[in-house]
Amino acid sequence: MVAQQVLNVKWLNSLNTKNVVLASSSPRRKDILSQLGLKYTVVPSTFPETLDKSLFNHPSDYVKENALQKALEVYERLKAEGKTPDLIIGADTVVAHGSKILEKPESVEGAIDMLTSLSGSTHMVYTGVTLIAPSAEGADKPPRILTDVEETEVKFQNVSRELIEAYVATKEPMDKAGAYGYQTTGSILVKGINGCSWNVIGLPASKVFFMLEEFTSEK
């Protein structure tokens, strides 16, 4: 196995001496952060993700709020335990087909329906990313927060019912927004991508890297 090469940049070296927490148990997000050369621990958020979608004007607004609330839940929980981290990273990804937001399917039938609706059409993938750190003015002050969103356009192949059912039978779609995983077998369903492919996997690597650089450079 080839050793992971870490970029020798001052802000990343400094950040890797801090207590950085990823508020997600997603294997895809963990892999992507590790590829960026970031050292971190995992504390999954318990935020229930029950926000009313009708209150948001656009899927990007919804996914940004989910990412924010996930990160805040972990920040407040660790702070209450006396374990305030130096940085929290939260993220949330959804698929939007037209005006409909598609999250993780709740059943096999739901996964089949999602993939059938995406077949032969174009949809958008949105990932909200939030960074939270304690205020430099003291623990009693509101934390510093930076939130942004990445969007990627995805075109699906015309997929037969037989292939959809065979793919769903692998159980791969069941823990993924939109019911497919671009990083694994689900890639055969995708005809093309316009934008960041890492975003479709679950975390936009470039955006996160430069958000971290901006956030750690702020005073």
Half-sphere exposure of residue 69: CA atoms within 13 angstroms, side-chain side = 13
Q: What sign for the dihedral angle of Cα 32, 173, 199, 148?
A: negative
Nearest to 149 by CA among 131, 124, 129: 129
Active site (annotated) includes residue 92: yes
Rg for the chain (alpha carbons), in Å?
18
DSSP-derived secondary structure letter, 81 = T
DSSP-derived secondary structure letter, 4 = P
Token pair recorded at residue 58: 């656009």
For residues 48 and 68, what is the distance between their CA atoms, to the nearest angstrom?
13
Backbone angles phi, psi at 195, to 5 degrees: 130, -160
DSSP-derived secondary structure letter, 106 = S
Alpha helices (H) along 1-152: 10-15, 27-35, 59-80, 108-118
Let me know: does 43 contact 72? Beta carbons within 8 Å: no
Q: Which of 31, 52, 92, 175 is catalytic?
A: 92
Residues annotated as part of the active site: 92
